[in-house]
Structure 1
């Protein structure tokens, strides 16, 4: 492999081909610490041309390639396996905002631009890029596109695939497809842009994107609401939609276990309500500078919810600081779980009408598998997505690890029975590739394998991610 390494150094420069274990270490373990691999090298190109040269070199030497963005994934999709034969292709140096067009509503960026910087580039021209994730300070737009990430604004603006108009992609043979067209209408054939969104680096390397940006929403009305049940939260969603219409931008749910972890481990976190509740909803309305009635709308919908028994109490943000404090209760959940101890993460989607029944039934099933297991449930009611995570019984991390397979199987079976999905917005990665194939029809799996063979016949692009070997 000496010749390959020399070729890679020639393509991107000596300083950007990492082979020393200490330099490579951060690139071969995922955010959860669950997936740890080995790499032949980590290569950090600075342009699409350099990406193409790296991909071409790997293709000609039949070297597996693992594209990587901010490495914030939760399912092992951006790290290599343990063989040490793969090249990790880190796009972290590709951070150029290429163009901003506020009139057309487009923003063109390199794939390595951090999500928070995409948001800032839109804000600089008084526009909004609405995707918002807990990892937005470190995840990259290329990774968001590759996994079809969701976030807290999906209810109003949709998943990542609804926020992209065009892509630039380096194909597995090193050719570059330039699809950076900001057209809203193009009926000239297959939608190749959408083919690569959500493909997790298995069909090519996304190097650039034309994104949609929207009018800014500087006005917000935000509340942390105590609700008696998931069923009540779903009913509250209907009330909020009736009152707020398109201004309803966020509708998040969290159980008391999740809030307790945040209060215990997040510095400065304070319970905004006096009496505890089993469930909470974070609801936010957003609008332009001209939308001055959001506070009144929020108060009216909450009053109707209390009268209908769908809400018990609410804390309404009275300023930016208070709004930030309420948001921290929701956004801190994932991080504090790691502090609490062993955790088992699940990212599922269910029909909204079935959320309550599914959640009510799931708890007793899991207690049979592992008595004392602590469900930490939160997510996006508006699109049916729950992060149904499990913390170990107190002081029994090893018990959770031992029961992980049975717990996961129980959750997946229940999701399949409800006609849901075992991956809502995190992708399949290595963690869920086999499970996803088991729950898909043979026709669906065959179609996916046919696409993979057509674009990557040698199976070198992110092998064992998203699709298992046939």
Structure 2
């Protein structure tokens, strides 16, 4: 375990860091540091003895080298939108926070190779906009895209709404620049789709949550802009009907299907209660809904023909109960707002117990039915806020208290609720973290759900790349 620094050693390190980044980019005042110490949900606040804001990879390397020499832990931080306490320090006050927000340059766009080289502090929405201005598409899309950074997206292997068509962050990255735990810069910014020259080092750092090194830049894949995009909301009787609809639409539309989101009726009722100005597409309520997004490389007519044919077949077969097809961009945005406002509606309604899980797509209906029944038996009247990316098997399976019950009082059951949900996830051969990561929040759960062999391999990698244990300690392992 890292020992606390004496005041004089603190001062020596602060002097070294100040010389690297400049006085205005070393924060020591508690009020100035405060925004970097709290998690996005506002439930947890850590401590640090400094916040450091380097301007480039060379400065990051020098900061890491100085901290390694002083045996001081480092907590890398991007947009601080994570949900598992992965980018905030613990309460010991031993660590520095290394924020990458000043590394915000788009270094290069190669239109012919369909790649973009960006720094880790670039905001995701800015990357999407830069790609669009170049006539191309960067398809990673998240609710937090206006504030999350690409370094954080890669460090957590973020998913989002277009994984079904384009894959998650790992699939969208060709190369990385990384500062190692020793303060060296690894230039792996290769814009290659084929490179079979040894171990895939890039893969180690994506999804590692800053525990092995600091991602400072990345080469991202770009795609042609679709000629047309259409959105539909389909009413369904059950999760099984949603799975049947997914299969039908995939068969008829193929790669044109870019998004397939599942939302329960309770989710939309929650959104309607908190955001009454948003659209109400159906006159009556239905048990489940699927939000479909189709993108066509050909034309609007082609996309419209595909989605109308698929939905028509689903209605005729009794898979779908009703459907609404957006006829304009504003209507499409309105339908997506229903999905995107579910987490906001949850937050406005009160605290709940959240789960970010993944399952084989074929097992999702049975999981929802069985896990929902188990939760009702243990906590009668609890509300299931179940929504997510059905197309890639990722559910946000959240549990709210019964009507009239206190939210704070219900949170005392979090461990028992987690045990029911996560044990069922394991029984269905799923994962307890799909796109949010592990961080500190789910670290101890890994011991229950990963084998000793797997954990030993992970610890061996950590020990090899970060032998001093200074990179984001207490996260994942």
TM-score (normalizing by structure 1)? 0.98
1:326 corresponds in structure 2 to: 335
Shift of 1:393: 2.5
What is the CA–CA distance in structure 1 between the aligned matches of 2:187 and 2:25, rounded to whole Å?
25
Q: Is the counterpart of residue 131 in structure 1 residue 135 in structure 2?
A: no
1:345 corresponding residue in structure 2: 354
Cα drift, residue 319 of structure 1: 0.3
Residues 296 and 302 of structure 2 are in contact (CA less than 8 Å); yes or no, is this contact kept in structure 1?
no
CA distance in 2, matches of 1:298, 1:190: 43
What secondary structure sits across from 1:210 in the alignment?
strand
CA distance in structure 2 between the partners assigned to 1:303 and 1:267 by the alignment = 30
Residue 293 of structure 1 aligns to a residue whose secondary structure is: helix
Q: Find out whether 1:428 has 2:438 as its counterpart.
A: yes
1:393 aligns with 2:402: yes
| Equivalence for 2:4 | none
Q: Deviations over 1:121-152 (max 9, x none)?
A: 11011100001000000000000000000000
Secondary structure of the 1:251 match is: strand
Match of 1:378 in 2: 387
Query: Per-residue CA shift, 1:392-413, capped at 9, x if unaligned?
Result: 2334112321111100111010
Residues 69 and 112 in structure 1, CA contact (< 8 A), matched pair in contact too: yes
Question: Is the partner of 1:312 in helix, strand or coil?
Answer: strand
SS at match of 1:198: coil
- Rate the CA distance shift 1:218–1:101 in 2: closer, same or farther, 3 A: same
Q: What is the distance in 2 between the residues matched to 1:26 and 1:374?
A: 33
1:419 aligns with 2:419: no
1:232 aligns with 2:241: yes
Which residue is 2:176 aligned to? 167
Equivalent residue, structure 1, for 2:468: 458
Taking the TM superposition and a 5 Å limit, the aligned residue runs for 1:201-240 are: 201-240=210-249
State whether residues 96 and 113 of structure 1, in contact with CA within 8 Å, keep that contact through their aligned partners in structure 2: yes
Tell me the equivalent position of 2:453.
Answer: 443
C-alpha distance in 2, partners of 1:88/1:388?
31
Q: How far apart, in 1, do the equivalents of 2:32 and 2:349 lie?
A: 29
Q: State TM-score, norm by structure 2.
A: 0.96
Look up the match of 1:407. Answer: 417
Choose from 337, 347, 364 the match for 1:355: 364
The corresponding residue for 1:303 is 312
| Kept after mapping to 2: 8 A contact 1:240/1:248 | yes
Q: 1:117 corresponds to which residue?
A: 126
Per mean C-alpha deviation after superposition, the further-off stretch among 330-339 and 227-236 is 330-339
1:103 counterpart = 2:112:
yes
CA distance in 1, matches of 2:49, 2:262: 43
Report the alpha carbon displacement of residue 19 of structure 1 after superposing the two structures with TM: 1.6
Deviation of 1:291 after TM superposition, in Å, equals 5.8
When structure 1 is superposed on structure 2, of 363-372 and 347-356 the one drifting more is 363-372
For residues 350 and 289 of structure 1, what CA distance do their matches in structure 2 show? 33
Find the aligned partners of 1:26 and 1:373 in 2 and give their Cα distance. 34
Query: Could you tell me whether the CA contact under 8 Å between 1:127 and 1:215 is conserved in 2?
Result: yes
**Residue number in structure 1 paired with 2:153:** 144
Q: CA deviation at 1:18?
A: 1.1
Aligned to 2:7: none
What CA deviation, in whole Å up to 9, does each residue of 1:241-298 have, x standing for no partner?
1111110000000111111111111252121111101110000100235463111111
1:158 corresponds, among 148, 151, 167, to 167
Q: Are the equivalent residues in 1 in contact too, given 2:211–2:471 (CA < 8 A)?
A: yes
Q: Distance in 2 between matches of 1:392 and 1:6?
A: 50
For 1:390 and 1:32, how far apart are their aligned partners in 2?
16
Distance 1:94 1:267, change over 3 A: farther
Distance 1:267 1:276 in 2: 15
Give the Cα–Cα distance (whole angstroms) in 2 for the partners of residues 385 and 9 of structure 1. Answer: 44
What is aligned with 2:197?
A: 188
The CA distance in 1 between the partners of 2:163 and 2:380, in whole Å, is 35
2-side partners of 1:15 and 1:181: how far apart? 34
C-alpha contact (below 8 Å) 2:227/2:299 kept by paired residues: no
Structure 1: state its 5+ residue gaps: none
Deviations 1:376-406 (A, max 9, x none): 1110111111000122233411232111110
Render the CA deviation track for 1:309-351: whole Å, top value 9, x for unaligned. 1110111100011000000000111122111101111000111
Partner of 2:280: 271
